A and B are shown apart, each in its own frame.
Chain A
Amino acid sequence: KAGVTQTPRYLIKTRGQQVTLSCSPISGHRSVSWYQQTPGQGLQFLFEYFSETQRNKGNFPGRFSGRQFSNSRSEMNVSTLELGDSALYLCASSSRQGLSTDTQYFGPGTRLTVL
Chain B
Amino acid sequence: QKEVEQDPGPLSVPEGAIVSLNCTYSNSAFQYFMWYRQYSRKGPELLMYTYSSGNKEDGRFTAQVDKSSKYISLFIRDSQPSDSATYLCAMSDYGNNRLAFGKGNQVVVIP
Q: Which residues of B contact A106 (CB under 8 A)?
A: 36, 43-45
Q: Which residues of B contact A58 (CB under 8 A)?
A: 98
Q: Which residues of B contact A84 (CB under 8 A)?
A: none
Category for how many chain A residues contact B: 20 to 34
Is A94's CB within 8 Å of the partner chain B? Answer: yes
Do B99 and A104 have beta carbons less than 8 Å apart?
Answer: yes
Residue of B nearest to A42 (CB): B103
Q: How would residues 52 to 77 of chain A score, 1 for a CB under 8 Å from any chain B CB and 0 otherwise? A: 00011010000000000000000000
Once bound together, how far apart are the Cα atoms of A105 and B46, in whole Å? 7
Output the least CB separation between B41 and chain A (Å).
8
**Is A45 in contact with B49, judged by CB distance below 8 angstroms?**
no
A13 at the interface (CB under 8 A from B): no
Cα of A109 to Cα of B46 in the assembled complex, Å? 15
Least CB separation from A4: chain B residue: B43
Give bound CA distance, A35 to B97, whole Å.
12
Partner of A43, one of B41, B42, B93, B101: B101
The answer, yes or no, to whether B95 is at the interface (CB within 8 Å) is: yes
Chain A residues near B45 (CB-CB < 8 A): 106
Q: Which of A43, A94, A100, A107 meets B95, CB within 8 Å?
A: A100
Q: Which residue of A lies closest to B44 (CB)?
A: A106
Q: Indicate the member of A31, A90, A101 with the most B CB atoms within 10 Å.
A: A101
Give the CA-CA distance A42 to B5 in the complex, in Å: 11
Residues of A within 8 A of B100 (CB): 45
B94 to A99, Cβ gap below 8 A? yes
State which residues 73-115 of A face B: CB under 8 Å. 90, 92, 94, 96, 99-109
- List B residues at the A interface (Cβ < 8 Å): 31-32, 36, 41-46, 49, 88, 90, 92-104
With A33-B97, A99-B94 given, name 5 new contacts (CB 8 A).
A35-B99, A56-B98, A99-B95, A104-B97, A108-B42
Q: Which 7 A-B pairs have the closest CB atoms?
A: A99-B95, A106-B43, A43-B101, A42-B103, A45-B98, A106-B44, A108-B43
